[in-house]
Amino acid sequence: MEEAEEESRDWSEMPSDALSAVLAKLDVADLLTGAGLVCRAWRRLTATDSTLWRRVDMSHHGDLLETEEAEAMARAAIDRAAGTVEAFWADSFVTDGLLRYLSDRAFKLKSLQLSLCDTVSNEGLAEAIKGCPQLEELEITFCSLFGNVCESVGKACPQLKSFRLNERWTILQREFAAYEGMDDDTEALGIANNMPELQYLQLIGNNLTNDGLMAILDHCPHIQSLDIRQCYNIQMDDAMKYKCARIGNLKLPHDPISDFKYRAYIASSGAYSGSDFEVDMYDDLLDVVTDDDDAEFDDDMDDVDDAGSESAMYDDVFDM
């Protein structure tokens, strides 16, 4: 009897508040191509309940979907949020055009995480970030964004509390000693001079020097967590150790990096051009192996034209 009743249950009559609580646990792709297609009631709810789209997490979709399809999904999710997006997390498919689209429609954005986004430019990010004055958290990992990006972000986002700018340490000569051409405090000074409210800072693989780090510590007094792993220009002398003593959560250049969400490795140029050097997670620089065929880190992507109304392919699904 119970089995018969369960088989005949009409899920379309599920209370909307209960259904929203269930659907909120699904990711963007599941909402757009799965749950949103179950029945008219579910389709209507996913199209009209903006609370389902406050957090747009597409941080693992770049490897699963074609670039155009992933961007179309992101635009559709942004549209459904109707200006309420508070968090947007995405990877390799993001373009300058998509960031502009987000910026124009996400006035309440507080968290932005970008990873492996080779098609995002310094100028594109700087322009988009101007529309996100409430941003409190920003992650830029392996996106090849350098130079004045930190200055632009700091000036546009005065409430920024968490900033992660991660890159791959680059070897420019055969020896593993620091190469003088790699010293660069541009990002460090951009942080020091424009992010006074910063509490959490991660700079994996950055080229900053002791001078740059000192400037950050002097001008960002609220920092509680500092991660400078693989920042091999930093020399932890007595003065630097004293300066860092107040940091509650501190990770130093040669600390293990096995807990990082992406596999860390050393990129090369010059004498080793064309090869990648992967740092063993536990032995750090002591165990380096050549890995020319590792496609996991080949992030070359074709430029995608600004799609305009790419989300239309998913908007049509929700026509009622």
Answer with the residue of higher pLDDT: 63 or 319: 63
The pLDDT tens digits of the residues spanning 173-192 come to 444 454 444 789 999 999 99
Answer with the residue of higher pLDDT: 174 or 19: 19
The pLDDT tens digits of the residues spanning 145-168 come to 888 999 999 999 999 999 999 998
The rounded mean pLDDT for the chain is 79
What is the band of 32 on the pLDDT scale with cuts at 50, 70, 90? Answer: confident
Number of domains into which the chain is organized = 1
Mean pLDDT for 28-54 is 74
**Paired sense of beta strands 225-227 and 137-141, if any:** unpaired
Mean pLDDT for 6-29 is 66
Amino acid 214: pLDDT: 98
Amino acid 65: pLDDT: 78
What is the band of 62 on the pLDDT scale with cuts at 50, 70, 90? Answer: low
Q: How far apart are CA 201 and CA 139, in angstroms?
A: 10
210: in domain = yes
**Domain limits at 184?**
53-266
The pLDDT tens digits of the residues spanning 256-288 come to 998 888 766 566 554 444 444 444 333 343 333
Answer with the residue of higher pLDDT: 262 or 203: 203
Answer with the residue of higher pLDDT: 26 or 75: 75
Any idea what the CATH number is for the domain that residue 213 is in? 3.80.10.10
Q: 273, 278, 298: which is closest to 288 by C-alpha?
A: 278
Q: How far apart are CA 52 and CA 79, in angstroms?
A: 12
Contact partners, residue 105, CB within 8 Å, separation at least 6:
78, 79, 81, 83, 85
- Name the pTM for this structure: 0.77
Amino acid 53: pLDDT: 87
Residue 147 Ramachandran class (φ > 0 left, ψ -120 to 50 alpha, else beta): left
Cβ neighbourhood burial of 8 (10 Å; 0-12, 13-18, 19+): exposed
Answer with the residue of higher pLDDT: 81 or 306: 81
